[in-house]
Amino acid sequence: MSNLPLNKKIIAFDIDSTLTESKQKLRYDIAELLLRLMEKAKVAIISGGSFHQFEKQIISSLNEVSAILKTSEIEHAPPSSLVAPNALPVFTNLLLLPTNGSKRYDYDMTKAEWKLTHLVHFPADLKEKVFQAFEQLIQSNEFNLPTETFGPALEDRVTEITFSALGQEAPVDQKQVWDPDQAKRQKIKAYLEAAVPEVNISIGGMTSIDIMPKGSNKATGLESLLEVLGMTKGDMLYVGDALFPGGNDYSVLEDGIETVKVANPLETAKLIKGWLS
């Protein structure tokens, strides 16, 4: 614990451009670093993505790497009738916060699976307002939006609506060049803020915009987690790439949680390595 910055008890990470490249799977070397970090402190992972996206990008790699590592290196569960034989004890130190923390999943050792333990409500009539605003926006031709997308552009993630300008399945190279300076999305954000003032709109990833009911963002998601854990803001360190005004990590900085800004997963890996050395 002593190597961790300022003796933090919990380290929270964003996913896209922090732990992984946009929508890509967690690299094995970074998965190993995370598993080792979980032996020293709690780890929270928070992102605009759905739980399915967490499974695809993060959990799959963690499971695969923990299976590769020798049992002497990463602790496996002792035989017990209360613990599933394939359960991984370090996962009790991992908290998953999909859709910007409007959902929370904890690890259930008895079943070796992830369990939904918290959910923030997004009223249906408010969702309808958001969908209508997008319909007008797409038809207006003022926002340089592609007419054909790779998969649906709008996704209802129950507690959050996500707009991906090129579609959920768009190739990364096309995403990279679409809105590198965020100018297009800032314009969309301004339009939506005027059209639906009851929601919170944040820019994330390369092409996406996350929409949640006002007052619900990464900071409130993390705060509700800290409360459940009996911890305070001072116990947490947050690592993210979008810690600028309008970025999807900015609410955390504004909230007064200590943050570290990284540019990419390699910087995050270096950071964790430093804490573990």
Residue closer to Mg ion (CB basis): 15 or 199: 15
Q: In angstroms, rounded to a whole number, what is the distance separating the alpha carbons of residues 24 and 264?
A: 12
Instruction: Tell me how far, at minimum, the Cβ of 67 lies from Mg ion, in Å.
Output: 28
Residue closer to Mg ion (CB basis): 196 or 237: 237
Angle at 146 between CA 100 and CA 251, to 5 degrees: 20
Instruction: Tell me how far, at minimum, the Cβ of 169 lies from Mg ion, in Å.
Output: 19
Helices (H), the chain: 28-38, 51-54, 60-68, 98-101, 124-139, 172-178, 183-195, 218-229, 250-254, 265-276
Residue closer to Mg ion (CB basis): 30 or 196: 30
Residue closer to Mg ion (CB basis): 17 or 220: 17
Instruction: Tell me how far, at minimum, the Cβ of 101 lies from Mg ion, in Å.
Output: 14
Q: In angstroms, rounded to a whole number, what is the distance separating the alpha carbons of residues 45 and 220?
A: 14
First to last CA, the chain: 11
Give me the helix-helix angle, 265-276 and 28-38, nearest 10°: 40
Q: How many helices (H) and strands (E) does the chain have?
A: 10, 11
| Residues with Cβ within 8 Å of residue 135, at least 6 apart in sequence | none
Residue type present at position 168: Q
Instruction: Tell me how far, at minimum, the Cβ of 254 lies from Mg ion, in Å.
Output: 16
Instruction: Tell me how far, at minimum, the Cβ of 240 lies from Mg ion, in Å.
Output: 6
Residue closer to Mg ion (CB basis): 66 or 251: 251
Residue closer to Mg ion (CB basis): 66 or 248: 248
Contacting positions for Mg ion (CB under 5 A):
14, 16-17, 241-242
Strand partners, 162: 155, 210
Instruction: Tell me how far, at minimum, the Cβ of 181 lies from Mg ion, in Å.
Output: 16
